[in-house]
Amino acid sequence: MKILGIETSCDETAAAIIEDGTKIISNVVATSSAMHARSGGVIPENAAREQIKAIIPVIREALGNHKIDAIAVTIGPGLIGSLLVGVETAKTLSLLWGTPIIPVNHLVGHIYANWLDKDKSPEFPSLALVVSGGHTDLVYMKSHGDIEYIGGTRDDAAGEAFDKCARLLGLPYPGGPNLSNLAQKYLDKNPNAKLNLFPRPMINEDNLDWSFSGLKTAVLREVGNKKFNEEEKSKIAAEVQEAIVDCLVTKSLHAIKKYNPKSFLLAGGVAANKRLREVLSVKISRTTLHIPSAILCTDNAAYIGSAAYFNKKEVDWRKLNASPELTITASLL
What's the closest the beta carbon of residue 241 comes to ligand KG4, in angstroms? 7
- The residue from 299, 320, 323, 328 that contacts Zn ion (CB under 5 A) is 299
DSSP three-state, residue 16: strand
Binding window for Zn ion (CB under 5 A); candidates: 21-29, 246-254, 255-263, 291-299: 291-299
Range 276-305, binding ligand KG4 (CB under 6 A): 298-299
DSSP for 310-333, please give it: HT---B-GGG----TT--TT----
Binding mask 177-196 for ligand KG4 (x = CB under 6 A): x--x----------------
What's the closest the beta carbon of residue 176 comes to ligand KG4, in angstroms? 2
* Residues that contact ligand KG4, how many (by CB under 6 A): 19
- The residue from 152, 174, 261, 305 that contacts ligand KG4 (CB under 6 A) is 174
What's the closest the beta carbon of residue 134 comes to ligand KG4, in angstroms? 5
* 175 contacts ligand KG4 (rule: CB under 6 A): yes
Binding window for ligand KG4 (CB under 6 A); candidates: 34-42, 60-68, 91-99, 263-271: 263-271
126: nearest Cα among 311, 255, 248: 255
Yes or no: say if 62 and 198 are a contact pair by the CB < 8 Å rule: no
Q: Which residues pair with 128 in a beta bridge?
A: 139, 265
On the CB side of 26, CA atoms within 13 Å amount to 22
What's the closest the beta carbon of residue 42 comes to ligand KG4, in angstroms? 10
Q: In what order do the strands lie in the sheet with 263-267?
A: 146-152, 136-143, 126-131, 263-267, 288-290
252 binds, among ligand KG4, Zn ion, none (CB under 5 to 8 A by kind): none
Separation CA 37–CA 314 (nearest Å): 38
- Give the amino acid at 103: P
What's the closest the beta carbon of residue 164 comes to ligand KG4, in angstroms? 9
* 272 contacts ligand KG4 (rule: CB under 6 A): yes
Query: What would you measure as the largest C-alpha separation in the chain, in angstroms?
Result: 62
DSSP three-state, residue 79: coil
* 239 contacts Zn ion (rule: CB under 5 A): no
What's the closest the beta carbon of residue 154 comes to Zn ion, in angstroms? 20
Range 128-167, binding ligand KG4 (CB under 6 A): 132-134, 159, 162-163
Separation CA 252–CA 283 (nearest Å): 10
* 27 contacts ligand KG4 (rule: CB under 6 A): no
* 300 contacts Zn ion (rule: CB under 5 A): no
DSSP three-state, residue 239: helix
State the CB neighbour count (10 A cutoff) for residue 194.
Answer: 7
Give, for 75, the enclosing helix (H) or strand (E). strand 70-76
Q: Which residues bind ligand KG4 (CB under 6 A)?
A: 10, 132-134, 159, 162-163, 174-177, 180, 268-270, 272-273, 298-299
